[in-house]
Structure 1
Amino acid sequence: MALSLLRKNMIARHVKRQLYHKRNAGYVVLIPEIGEDSDKNILLSESGLPEFNDITIEKCIAAISKESLEYENGIKQIEANSPNCKNAFTDVFQPMEHLDSQLEFNWGMAKTLYLGNSSLMPTKSYLKIHERAYKAKSSKFNSLAIFQAAVNEKDKLKKISDEEQRLLDKHILEGKLNGLSVQGMKKDRLNNILIELQKERHIYSEKVKVATNKFSYTFDNSEVVRDFPDSLLKAMALPSADIHTGPWKTTLQPHIYEPFMQYCSSRQLRWNAWQAYIGRCSGYNEKELETSTHLEQIRKLRQNQAQILGYDSYVDMSMETKMARTAENVNRVIHTLLQSARPMQERELEDLKNFAKDRGFDDELDYCDIPYWQRKQKWSLYGFDENKVKEYFPLPKVINSLFNLCTTLFKIQIVEHSGVHTWHKDVKFYDIFDDSSNKPIAGFYLDPYAREDEKIRIYEDAGWHVTILNRSTIASSNPLSALIFNFDPPVESKPALLSFSDVRVLFQKFGHSLRHLLTKANYSEVAGLSNVEWDAAEVCGQVMTHWLYEPATVQALSGHYATDEPLPDAIIHNLQNLRSHMSGYNLCKELYLSKLDLELHSGRKFWRDVVRDLWPKYHVLPFNKYDSHPLTFTKIISEEWGAAYYSRIWSQMIAADIYSAFEEARQGKQDILEVGKRYRDTFLALGGSCHPSEVFRRFRGRDPSPNALLNNLGLSGKPMED
């Protein structure tokens, strides 16, 4: 599927997933074709910003219904005029800019309200809104007339800008991957494959969900939980139990399983949970929950889909929307990183084994033991306590320092704008000013605090960046977005205090948002985060987090909430040590999963044979014959990351290389402010209007290298021999 549609599918999958993580409060409202007050946008205030304090489900539905219908009618009008099209930019793309602007604006408001106050916008209601808007937006990428207009414009071979070229390429690729260039029996076969794929992915996902929910174990031994943080005790305590006296229940839900494996002192309980986790959907216990047949069928269908569209494999099709461009380039990076990470993993596990043995652990170190002893070793070596560190990161000081850093690097001013309508009293709105303008160039909402009865909270999603409006010179719109977090709110006389992990999330999401807010592209379809290749989409957020390992930055943003005393130098120094602790082991796990994904989507070998071939190349400890992890690897099988899981490593590599330019400047080779300007003029300004490989070359003057990532992880020693 094409890039923008893949992103919309990710959103669809993501909001549907909320049904299983939060109560489904509220009611379902069916969407009418035409809403009330159809002559105006009823979600806007007089300032032109959303009327968040007066938005209702009914108003959202009415606005989305109106805009969706107008969007579809507008696309039909463009299609009707396409035979007379002389210039695709003036006759097709510019009219679509006006259509896109209004629909995205209303859709973005609904998404923001859903994530910021789900009591006002329940999941089921938002799903209806999302599905209606998505159906409308999809119409242009399934339009043969618009696809042909883009092809014809490109065939003219006239000189156009990089941005215009990217716009044409996007619509051509979208059309190709949606099957617009396929006709006759092939078209029918493709449609049948896509229908079958959707069914198989749904069955796979549901079985994984049921299998995950099947396992639980209740215990009341207080010795087992003596080191558990209160947040974990609260999550595990039975409904009527005191969190400190139990009983407690462990499950395979990520927000319980992962910290449980880190803190549980009972090896037997850890082993039981781990065995249940790796054996899900294998059919060893419950045949009706096995997913092997569905996994193989999904692989086969994806391969057939790719071949109908003219690709040798699903991986080759996926690479059309990736910065890496080819599987060979990805495999080359994986191999280079593995050369350093694999031997380091051997040393790390030997050290961990000795550490555990010195503390009375007499068993052979197994995978169920590593998280527990890894945490213990980290504490022993670095004395790092998140609860103590939190006292040095009051949110107001962190926010102020983050804004000051961006002001210095990118020559912008971030100014709070009072009197703006919001969905909660804690939400603030900020304008962004350029040094060269006295008018705002962008704006964003900041909603920092958790609200248990109002905001959605998912374990792996600590924060959200919601695009409300893209920049468009044609539609005269400036970027607008929302940053929504679940940080602990202020308590009595204490301000909101952040863990270092919270600070990292804040920096990452804000860095991500800057690509949207500071774009200078003219067309919304390629502005900011739009049209950025998957494996480069998270780069700017990752770049921002690197500043947290620069001592001067940490000193500036830290200060004890009561005394303003800075974070001790020893802890600041240990932040880098914490990042590189067992980095070889952790990196090898990610490299293995990335390679597994590529192998499953490029060949026909049975999945278990693929695992057995790859495992010893990436892991020191032997493979457990009951380990069936591909049967629950939902990210690549039932979600949208098939043949794209490597994107996590790739974006980290690119971000580390980008940040190394700032490090070089700090060492005196050039002015750090010049590097900041170059970064803003490339990665932040160009967004999706230029291929990220070219953007990188303009910033760095060369192609990417994995060396900076290896240096950051402490893995830059001599690699192993082939």
Structure 2
Amino acid sequence: MKTLTQNFETKHNTAPFSQIQLADYKTAFEATIAQARAEIDAIVNNTDVPSFENTIEALDFSGESLDRLSSIFFNLNSAETCDEMQKIAQEVSPMLTEFSNDIALNEDLFKRIKAVYDQKDKLILTTEQATLLDKKFKGFSRNGALLSEEDKLKLREIDTELAKLKLTYGENVLAETNNYQLHITNEADLKGLPDGSKEMAASLAKSNGLNGWVFTLDFPSYLPFVTYVDNRELRKEIAIAAGKKAFQNNEFDNKENVKRIVELRHKRANLLGYESHSHFVLEERMAQHPDKVKAFLNDLLEKAKPAALKEFAELTAFAKELDGIEQLEKWDGAYYSEKLKQKLFSLDDELLKPYFQLEKVLNGAFTIAEKLFGIKFKEVFDIDKYHNDVQTFEVLDFQDELVAVFYADFFPRKGKRNGAWMTSFKPQHIKNGVNERPHVSIVCNFTPPTETKPSLLTFNEVTTLFHEFGHALHGMLANTTYPSLSGTSVYWDFVELPSQVMENWCYEPEALALFAKHYQSGDVIPQHFVEKIKESASFLEGMATLRQLSFGLLDMAYHGKSQTIDDVKAFEKAAFEGTSLYPDVEENCMSTSFSHIFQGGYSSGYYSYKWAEVLDADAFAYFQEKGIFNHEVATKFKDNVLSKGGTELPMELYKKFRGQEPKVEALLKRAGLV
């Protein structure tokens, strides 16, 4: 237990993963919560007049051990979990919720904060300090500090139940993902599937003690299957399995969890004086109001829908001409899109994959970061890790000073949730004159190496790596005083700018020349492939935009107004009405596995992907104007966006970088929608 409750005696104070016993977590949480309570008590019981330093600053630096422990535990619960760990999560989550509620509803603490806040106009504060003061005051007022005792109690009950519901929701999705496998013994059923995917499926079958091939709902297994396998019935089977996760009236069903989460979120918002959960959430976003989000989504929908309908008609005609398909279904989309893409651009992921060896792509991302932001990455082998697959790096500046510790975890495995994400094991902050550098991690589920081939990425996986690496740069280059304003601690609709802007380099010949080299011959990717990649970037973009908008509109439908939902499937169908292209599949429901909004932090925030696309298209247009490795533009981006975290309002930071507010035209142009 001692391992988890003190500063680690390790290189760069990194987490000592190999020394951690599961049995130690609960006791460690109890001890660090007690320590954090004592730190809060010391602030409350301070007899000096409340000041910025002894109240606001002291509060931000409190609970450091608990935050560190929480980040280690919950990061591993996503990347390397097991039944025992999930059980511990169910036990400690209510403890943490209770503790955060104890702080949020601590009247004496709030009195001190309010005393400082009430005299803010007389205080001489830096921009960052003023932001922190505002954030701390709102953190209390938005969490019930101004409520009556009776309502505070109601709020606690809601928060405790929500914490448990969100965990259960996520566990159900993971269980449903793990519980399905498609076992194939006849090789003819795999006609069309690339050799690499087939080899991976054979290896998966072997590891399960089976002959033939095994496919799962994990993306590197699922996506090639629905994209390439000619057998339409088998594509239908696995697609329906993916679409009915946690919608099967079994012990892992999430319908009631969805209804209850939505109901409690609205109750919570109403209790705090807000019209809906969205009104509450968006007060702390660039968008600020549900009406603005809905107008933004509907405006894009109006511009994208004609293109989407035209593309869908073309895809339908193509499928009919090729295979006599009268009605395109959801399990046909990826398959015929890939076939049409190959016809139009002679561009096949299988042709491109040999040029995207994972190690080379990762080194390419490192080289681009070095050219833009003056940092270098050095792989090291003396930093503890939680799984053999994980790679560890020191990130250094050109004076060889430590900028960050970087962990990379790339391959799917049991106990690791689907998808890709960036996270942090230790935030950056400055305390007692020492700039504590961050420990940042990216976790992905890429195609693993096989016995005959290294890990070769699809182009989509390449852009995913750059996306998560952009988030990581936001964390690694942070340079703020206070931990709660550092790195990715920014408004939710601003957080995707650094990640999405990095994807743009994947389309530039000058950048591709650095890493897109054939894994056997070492030849740089041919120029005509690069041109095809750029041309195909806006291929079926209208349909893709409609899909993203549908998710944002579904999110806003759930959270934009207080309501009672009788039937989750019917509600979802109504929300998708204006964006549907394919016929509905009766046994499928997205809401029961829409983890982004029901387990993650994207409720009333899914629109931010598109919002950030407007920002990133506008930002990259500036790079293109001056040169994609232009030092002046890169420095402005680093100094005004990447290093500043949440120290100022995002729009102010963006204008300091760009000199103007973002314009939607750059996105429409890039997407080929104008």
Q: Fold conserved (TM > 0.5)?
A: yes
540-549 or 367-376, larger mean C-alpha shift:
367-376
**Separation (CA, whole Å) in 1 of partners of 2:600 and 2:423:** 20
Residue equivalent to 2:228: 263
* Contact kept? 1:111, 1:466, Cα under 8 Å: no
**Separation (CA, whole Å) in 2 of partners of 1:212 and 1:58:** 24
**Separation (CA, whole Å) in 1 of partners of 2:448 and 2:177:** 32
What SS does structure 1 have at the residue aligned with 2:435?
coil
* Contact kept? 1:658, 1:700, Cα under 8 Å: yes
- The answer as to 2:512 corresponding to 1:554 is yes
What SS does structure 2 have at the residue aligned with 1:149?
helix
Residue equivalent to 1:19: none
Residue equivalent to 2:210: 241
Write the letter of the residue equivalent to 2:469.
F
**Separation (CA, whole Å) in 1 of partners of 2:582 and 2:126:** 53
Q: How big is the shift at 1:275?
A: 5.3
**Separation (CA, whole Å) in 1 of partners of 2:40 and 2:379:** 37
- The answer as to 2:669 corresponding to 1:711 is yes
* Contact kept? 1:442, 1:478, Cα under 8 Å: no
- The answer as to 2:137 corresponding to 1:180 is no
**Separation (CA, whole Å) in 2 of partners of 1:363 and 1:648:** 34
**Separation (CA, whole Å) in 1 of partners of 2:390 and 2:207:** 32
Q: How big is the shift at 1:446?
A: 3.8
Q: How big is the shift at 1:525?
A: 1.5
Please, which runs of 5 or more residues in structure 1 have no aligned partner?
A: 1-30, 718-722
What SS does structure 2 have at the residue aligned with 1:536?
coil
- The answer as to 2:355 corresponding to 1:355 is no
Q: Find the partner of 1:545 among 492, 503, 525.
A: 503
What SS does structure 1 have at the residue aligned with 2:426?
strand
**Separation (CA, whole Å) in 2 of partners of 1:425 and 1:608:** 39
Q: Find the partner of 1:344 among 290, 302, 307.
A: 307
**Separation (CA, whole Å) in 2 of partners of 1:494 and 1:611:** 42
What SS does structure 2 have at the residue aligned with 1:458?
coil
- The answer as to 2:36 corresponding to 1:77 is no
Q: Find the partner of 1:641 among 597, 602, 607.
A: 602
- Identical columns (%): 23
Residue equivalent to 2:375: 413
Residue equivalent to 1:224: 189
* Contact kept? 1:662, 1:672, Cα under 8 Å: yes
Q: How big is the shift at 1:273?
A: 5.0
Distance 1:233 1:145, change over 3 A: farther
Superposition pairs of residues 256-655 of structure 1, within 5 angstroms: 258-274=223-239, 286=249, 295-410=258-373, 412-414=374-376, 416=378, 420-423=382-385, 427-433=391-397, 438=399, 440=401, 442-447=403-408, 450=411, 457-461=416-420, 464-474=422-432, 476-485=434-443, 497-530=456-489, 532-603=490-561, 604=563, 606=565, 611=572, 613-621=574-582, 623=584, 628-637=589-598, 639-655=600-616
Distance 1:132 1:466, change over 3 A: farther
What SS does structure 2 have at the residue aligned with 1:580?
coil
Write the letter of the residue equivalent to 2:462.
V
* Contact kept? 2:170, 2:599, Cα under 8 Å: yes
* Contact kept? 1:97, 1:472, Cα under 8 Å: no
Q: Deviations over 1:19-49 (max 9, x none)?
A: xxxxxxxxxxxx6xxx4898x63x213x543
Q: Deviations over 1:516-543 (max 9, x none)?
A: 222221111112122x112222221111
* Contact kept? 2:395, 2:405, Cα under 8 Å: yes
Q: How big is the shift at 1:662?
A: 0.7
Residue equivalent to 2:127: 162
Q: Deviations over 1:401-458 (max 9, x none)?
A: 3333223322x2325375743336973432322x6xx462522134456496xx8543
Distance 1:320 1:369, change over 3 A: same
* Contact kept? 1:315, 1:602, Cα under 8 Å: yes
Superposition pairs of residues 52-91 of structure 1, within 5 angstroms: 52=16, 55-57=19-21, 61=25, 67-81=32-46, 84-87=48-51, 89-91=52-54
Residue equivalent to 2:658: 700
**Separation (CA, whole Å) in 1 of partners of 2:379 and 2:246:** 52
**Separation (CA, whole Å) in 1 of partners of 2:525 and 2:211:** 35
Distance 1:626 1:518, change over 3 A: closer
Q: Deviations over 1:68-99 (max 9, x none)?
A: 43322111111111x63331x21023334554
**Separation (CA, whole Å) in 2 of partners of 1:638 and 1:53:** 25
- The answer as to 2:654 corresponding to 1:685 is no
**Separation (CA, whole Å) in 2 of partners of 1:492 and 1:126:** 37
Q: Deviations over 1:307-338 (max 9, x none)?
A: 11010111101112322111122122212211
Q: Tell me the TM-score normalised to structure 2 length.
A: 0.84
Residue equivalent to 2:13: 49
What SS does structure 1 have at the residue aligned with 2:424?
strand
Residue equivalent to 2:156: 191
Q: How big is the shift at 1:660?
A: 1.6
47-56 or 519-528, larger mean C-alpha shift:
47-56
Distance 1:699 1:464, change over 3 A: closer
* Contact kept? 2:392, 2:407, Cα under 8 Å: yes
**Separation (CA, whole Å) in 2 of partners of 1:115 and 1:302:** 24
What SS does structure 1 have at the residue aligned with 2:525?
coil
**Separation (CA, whole Å) in 2 of partners of 1:644 and 1:201:** 16
Write the letter of the residue equivalent to 2:488.
L
* Contact kept? 1:488, 1:497, Cα under 8 Å: yes
Q: Deviations over 1:581-629 (max 9, x none)?
A: 2111121111112112212222337566655554442234455666644
RMSD: 4.0
* Contact kept? 1:509, 1:541, Cα under 8 Å: yes
Count of residue pairs the alignment pairs up: 660
* Contact kept? 1:101, 1:470, Cα under 8 Å: no
Q: Deviations over 1:137-169 (max 9, x none)?
A: 776445333333332222112242221122112
Distance 1:148 1:295, change over 3 A: same
Q: Deviations over 1:668-705 (max 9, x none)?
A: xxx93221111011111211111212211222223233
Superposition pairs of residues 129-168 of structure 1, within 5 angstroms: 140-156=103-119, 157-158=121-122, 159-168=124-133
**Separation (CA, whole Å) in 2 of partners of 1:561 and 1:214:** 35
Distance 1:326 1:619, change over 3 A: same
Write the letter of the residue equivalent to 1:651.
A
**Separation (CA, whole Å) in 1 of partners of 2:18 and 2:132:** 37
Write the letter of the residue equivalent to 2:479.
K
**Separation (CA, whole Å) in 1 of partners of 2:113 and 2:439:** 30
What SS does structure 2 have at the residue aligned with 1:534?
coil
**Separation (CA, whole Å) in 2 of partners of 1:288 and 1:133:** 26
Superposition pairs of residues 97-112 of structure 1, within 5 angstroms: 98-105=61-68, 108=71
Q: Tell me the TM-score normalised to structure 1 length.
A: 0.79
Q: Find the partner of 1:656 among 617, 642, 648.
A: 617
What SS does structure 1 have at the residue aligned with 2:57?
helix
Write the letter of the residue equivalent to 2:117.
K
**Separation (CA, whole Å) in 1 of partners of 2:381 and 2:325:** 64
